[in-house]
Structure 1
Amino acid sequence: MQERRKAKRMPVTLSLEISNLYKQDHVRVSNLHAPIEVINISKTGIGFLSESVLPEGYYFNANINLGNEDTLHCVVQIVRRQPAEDNKTMYGCEFVGMATILSYVFEEYDKRLDTQE
């Protein structure tokens, strides 16, 4: 199978909660309180598990901290979903409009992972 990923996925353990989803033309889903478990991250997006059913094509705001003083404030778009174990769904998401200058955060995180092995 040909690799289609744009960037290396790195394992991560983060818990977030999605409160609001939105789409263009002011379509909004509010008061979700959907807990998610982020399981991997790359320069281009995140993968997460959730028991909640979330629609593809919608966006949410995320604050991601990879264990240092830098917190990424970003917009994430849900681009795919598939069934997973334990009544959960696996979601694939892309960062939208994140400045490429922030890629250093992921490079530093990758280096920290390498030194822990």
Structure 2
Amino acid sequence: MKDRRKAHRLPFNATLTIDEVYNQQEVIRESREIPINAVDISKGGIGFTAHESLPLGYYFNAKIDLGNGRQFYSVLKIIRKEEQEDAIIYGCEFTGLADILSLYIDEFETDASES
């Protein structure tokens, strides 16, 4: 199968929390935190695992901390979902990621390749 990724993915270990999941018509999760475990990141998006089912095509807000004071908030759209035995693997794309924030990810990639 041909790899269709537009950006190089880097291992990224973090625990994030989703506090709202929504689309343009409705909010389906409010005031309830859903822990997720990030596994990789690129300028295009982030991959994570979770134990709760989240719908495709929905959005959530995330705070991404890349270390060394590089953190940002972004909206992510759930575009891929694969159910495994012990967790669900998701793929999300950044929506409206500012150029300066993609530079943070470039710096993160440089730091990761040097260590």
Coarse TM-score class (shorter-chain normalised): over 0.9
Q: Secondary structure at the match of 1:101?
A: helix
What is the one-letter code of the residue matched to 2:97? Answer: M
Q: Distance in 1 between matches of 2:12 and 2:51?
A: 19
Aligned residue for 1:80?
Answer: 80
What is the one-letter code of the residue matched to 1:70? Answer: R
Q: Secondary structure at the match of 1:6?
A: coil
Aligned residue for 1:47?
Answer: 47
Map residues 18-37 of structure 1 onto 2, 5 A cutoff.
18-25=18-25, 27-29=26-28, 30-37=30-37
Percent of aligned pairs sharing the same letter: 42
Q: Distance in 2 between matches of 1:36 and 1:115?
A: 27
Aligned residue for 1:71?
Answer: 71
| Deviation of the 1:100 alpha carbon | 2.4
TM-score (norm 1): 0.92
Aligned residue for 1:103?
Answer: 102
Q: Distance in 1 between matches of 2:107 and 2:100?
A: 13
Aligned residue for 2:12?
Answer: 12
Aligned residue for 1:90?
Answer: 89
Q: Distance in 1 between matches of 2:32 and 2:51?
A: 12
What is the one-letter code of the residue matched to 1:111? Answer: T
Q: Secondary structure at the match of 1:108?
A: helix
Q: Which runs of 5+ in 1 are unaligned?
A: none
CA RMSD for the aligned pairs? Answer: 1.1
**1:70-91 Cα deviation digits (max 9, x unpaired):** 21111001111001242x0000
1:56 and 2:74 matched: no
| Deviation of the 1:17 alpha carbon | 1.1
Q: Which runs of 5+ in 2 are unaligned?
A: none
